[in-house]
Chains A and B, each alone.
Chain A
Amino acid sequence: MLKNLGWRAAIVAFVVLMSFIYLMPSFTSEVPGWWSNILPRDKIHLGLDLQGGMHLVLEVGSVKAVESHLERVVEEIKRDLRKSKIRYVELKRLGNDRITLTLMGPEDKDVFKKMVEADYPDFEAASVPGEGDRPSFELTLLPKAKTHIMKMAVDQALETIRNRIDQFGVSEPDIRPQQDNRILIQLPGIKDAKRAVDLIGKTALLEFKLVDEEHSVEEALKGNIPPGNEILYEVNIDPKTGRETKIPFLLKRRTLITGEYITDARVQFDNQYNEPHVSLSFDARGARLFEQITGQNIKKRLAIVLDNNVYSAPVIQDKISGGRAQITGRFTTDEARDLAIVLRAGALPAPVKIIEERTVGPSLGKDSIEKGFKSMIIGGLLVVIFMAVYYSLSGVIADLALILNILIIMAGLAFFGATLTLPGIAGIILTIGMSVDANVLIFERVREEMRLGKTPRASIEGGYGKALVTILDAQITTLIAALVLFQFGTGPVRGFAVTVSIGIIASLFTAIFGTRIIFDYLYVQRRMKRLSI
């Protein structure tokens, strides 16, 4: 018996020791170097609701991605047709899964069909009735290919956003894909929510377009937009008054070059006014294209357009070689820095939409921790006193189990790398109230046994034995509810499920296994006569 008791005590001592080891990093701000080399050094993670931060869910406009893919294919087909000297009347995208095409004469029908089969395996070509003897086709994007494009759009968006956030500098961001083309982003400790949203949500499609100077903007604004042109605006917000001014530009719709050739983007300050601007470097191909474009359009205005907003439209003074360009505008330094980040990280393959945003300010998080722990300590103390008064010495033993239980929950959080949230603290508090239940069940049974006139030793044995099954049944059902909650829950709610689950298992260990050691020591080994319960 003694040897057995020693072993059991050793197990509990081991658990206590391990708990302290896992909790050490959370209590001291800095663990010694030798410690972090061999022992755990992770603090308990705090949820966004406790440390402040931002939770975002974005929806990737995958349909838009499919559409722009189709647009690109239209351009490719045009090039191929030109190469094979096939003349066509009309070629355009139809909706989000088809391209229609009408050829000039019937003689090219078979050639074209072969071309589609060979070069465009993602499409199915079908003849449709056209005008006269001009053959018409409808190319339908296969559903499999469509799904693939949509999935790629989400993957690419995820990668791009991760790049942007990494460059923005957020510690421990959590970015992961979710079902239905969604992306979940968690940014702990972020201070400027607006800036983060702007940075993440920007499509960042950079385009260079020529300004149409042959037609007047005024005329176009009245509704007479010349074919192949569009009106875009330069929007300026006065930082002092918050007033918005919009300058219209009449641009040629055709994009000369996009941001996809950018290899680097940096913030620089001009020498005169010390105003920030973003300087771009193109790769070799982009540099050649840019040289060509600027060479052909000297003395014309080239507009720099980002997400359909005109940033500036400088006059091309000379052919620009070397692949460098500048974006100027009325930036603050932060804005310029963020613009450089998004240009470096690249454009999103499709626009994203924010469908969920939760932000908790750091001060509220701190308040929540303080209040949560205050109610935990006061509630816990009341329960401890209550148990000691109601069950005397046995109550004190149950209190020890309770304290050990809380210790194990905290260490468990650190061990599993789980996150402590405000509902999680509530879960610990609830566990304090509910975990004494196991001991209450045992003690009530022990009292019943004593009323039958049994010795302390026999009463304890009987009490523990009979209560065991009941305790297991009762706790397993609570555990079921907690596990279901874990499965379905997000963020804070999941934190609650975690603490309750660990709490239940810990309370089984401390209340059944832990307290029994003390009782056995007192009443079996020391043979105490009077059972204080």
Chain B
Amino acid sequence: MEFIKAGININFIGRRNIAFTLSVMVILATIFLLIWRGGPNFGVDFSGGVLIQVKLDENRTPSEIRSALTPVQLEDSIIQEFGGEGQHEYLIRVRRTDIELGGLSDKVRHALISEFGQNVEMRRVEMVGPKVGADLRQKALFAIFYAILFIAIYISGRFEQRWLMSIVMALSLAFVVYVFSSFGMPVTWLIVIALIVTLGLCWFLKLKYALGAIIALIHDVTITIGAFALTEREISLAIIAAFLTIVGYSLNDTIIVFDRIRENLRRFRRQSFEEIMNKSINETLSRTVLTSTTTLIVVLALFILGGGVIHDFAFAMLIGVIVGTYSSIFVASPIILVWEERFAKMGRSKALPGAAR
């Protein structure tokens, strides 16, 4: 059986401008959406606050639950139905961080029992103080940053045999982050600066494969964040795990294409870079489609059957797998081409470094 016939030759690279336009538009939409919403919608893990999953005896409206919570001064909580029909499960979210956490869940339970009777089951309680929330936020951002940094080092080392350069990049990046953090820069901006510096270093140190891969990663994670903002889902600790998995998965795809490009560059020395790139993407297309299919099958199973707690995680993976597959074809490789063209224009006389091949 074959989905993709052998010898297929779709001109992906030639349509790169359409793809770039599409990607830029989606990313801009994400940024606007985030600005409009006032930043990503962080869950209690990161913003601090309280999340209670409760099972009641029968269906209640959010306003009924809110009024039941009035005696404990939690009437401003966000109430949301959770899980399937007929489960009578609700999520109670308290966004305030100035409340005393000790004994709170018991107070809520008593308030609900006195209103709805004994059949109240507290299924899950998550209370995170503001300090812990800030700590977790910082840790998560650093995790994403380190993942991208290590991957940049690995790709530069493996694909361009320039371990020294990639270590230079890592050191200068560490220096930049150190300098800015000593000025007391908030972590979010620190990461943004670090990413920009990483991209800049990749560009000027001529680490083009790393450049393509990292732009593809940022592209994938940004769009997934956008999908979360659009569907009003919360970003929790588990979602950060999903983001990092998307990073790994998207890279997996990208590297397989890069590997083929590297191999074909050696085999077909006469052809243009663009032709080789297109050939490589087409040759790996069958594998790309197949692996995405099997991964999508399991992620869909998780999305549909996995239950409420894991639902958002599966959603992130779903978006990530689709966007990651797209980006390894339409974003990662064409970026290398853009870099090559720019560099060729900027200094053909300076001669392209042979070490790259």
Name the one of B132, B244, B252 contacting A355, with C-beta atoms under 8 angstroms. Answer: B132
Distance between Cα atoms of A490 and B155 in the complex (Å): 28
Does B35 sit within 8 A of A, measured CB to CB?
A: no
Tell me, yes or no, whether B338 is within 8 Å of chain A by CB. no
Whole-angstrom distance from the CB of B310 to the nearest CB of chain A? 6
CA distance A429 to B53 in the complex (A): 25
Contact (Cβ within 8 A) B143 A492: no
Of all chain A residues, which has the CB nearest B295?
A: A433
The stretch of A119-127, A258-266, A276-284, A356-364 that contacts the partner chain: A356-364
Please provide the chain A residues from 460 to 474 with a CB less than 8 Å away from any CB of chain B in the complex: 469-470, 473-474
Contact with B along A370-401 (1 / 0, CB 8 A): 01101110111011001101111000000000
Q: Is B158 an interface residue (CB 8 A)?
A: yes
Are B256 and A441 closer than 8 Å at their CB atoms? yes
Q: Is A22 an interface residue (CB 8 A)?
A: no
Q: Write the chain B residue with the least CB distance to A490.
A: B237
Do A426 and B255 touch (CB < 8 A)? no
| A194 close to chain B: CB less than 8 A | yes
CB distance from A485 to the nearest CB of B (A): 5
Tell me, yes or no, whether B277 is within 8 Å of chain A by CB.
no
Binds B, one of A209-217, A340-348, A476-484: A476-484
The 0/1 profile, CB within 8 Å of A marked 1, for residues 292-336 of chain B is: 011111111110111101100110010000000000000000000
Given A434-B295, A500-B245, answer yes or no on A379-B302 (Cβ-Cβ < 8 Å).
yes
Which A-chain residue is minimally distant from B303 (CB atoms)?
A: A375
Residues of chain B in range 117-151 having any CB-CB distance to chain A below 8 Å: 121-129, 131-132, 139-140, 142-143, 146-147, 150-151
B297 and A433 within 8 A (CB): yes
Residues of B within 8 A of A368 (CB): 307, 309-310
A440:B123 contact, CB within 8 angstroms: no
Q: Which of B147, B296, B317 lies at the interface centre, i.e. has the most chain A CB atoms within 10 A of its CB?
A: B147
Q: How far is the CA of A193 from the CA of B108 in the complex (A)?
A: 13
The 8 Å CB contact of A194, one of B103, B132, B155, is: B103
- Kindly state the separation between the CA atoms of A478 and B320 in the bound complex, as whole angstroms: 14
Q: Binary interface profile of A, 41-64, with partner B (CB < 8 Å = 1, else 0)?
A: 000000001000000010100000
Q: Would B241 and A496 count as touching, CB distance under 8 A?
A: yes
Q: A residues within 8 A CB of B245?
A: 430, 481-482, 496, 500
Is A444 in contact with chain B by the CB < 8 A criterion? yes
Q: How many residues of A contact B (CB 8 A)?
A: 78
| A493 CB contact (under 8 Å) in B105, B238, B293 | B238
Q: Which residues of B contact A493 (CB under 8 A)?
A: 237-238, 240-241
- Taking a contact as CB atoms under 8 Å apart, the answer to whether A488 and B259 are in contact is no
Specify which of A353, A437, A496, A500 is in contact with B102 (CB 8 Å cutoff). Answer: A353
- Determine how close the nearest CB of chain B comes to the CB of A431; give it in whole angstroms: 9
Of the candidates A434, A441, A477, the one whose C-beta lies within 8 Å of that of B154 is A477
A433 touching B251 by the CB < 8 A rule?
no
What is the bound-complex CA distance between A465 and B252, given in angstroms?
A: 19
Which residues on the B side are within 8 Å of A500 (C-beta)? 245, 248
Is B248 a contact of A482 with CB atoms below 8 Å? yes
> Among the listed A59, A364, A432, A492, which residue makes an inter-chain contact with B237, where contact means beta carbons less than 8 Å apart?
A492
Q: A389, B1: Cβ atoms under 8 Å?
A: yes
User: Contact: A484 with B6, CB < 8 Å?
Assistant: no
A-B contact pairs, 30 of them (CB 8 A): A193-B106, A353-B102, A354-B101, A355-B101, A356-B127, A357-B126, A359-B126, A363-B121, A364-B309, A371-B307, A375-B305, A376-B301, A379-B297, A383-B294, A389-B1, A390-B1, A422-B309, A426-B317, A437-B294, A469-B259, A473-B256, A473-B259, A474-B253, A476-B154, A477-B151, A477-B155, A479-B248, A484-B146, A492-B237, A493-B238
Interface residues, chain A, with chain B CB atoms under 8 Å away? 49, 57, 59, 193-194, 197-198, 201, 242, 353-361, 363-364, 367-368, 371-372, 374-376, 378-380, 382-383, 386-387, 389-392, 422-423, 425-426, 429-430, 432-434, 436-437, 440-441, 444, 447-448, 451, 469-470, 473-482, 484-485, 487-490, 492-493, 496-497, 500
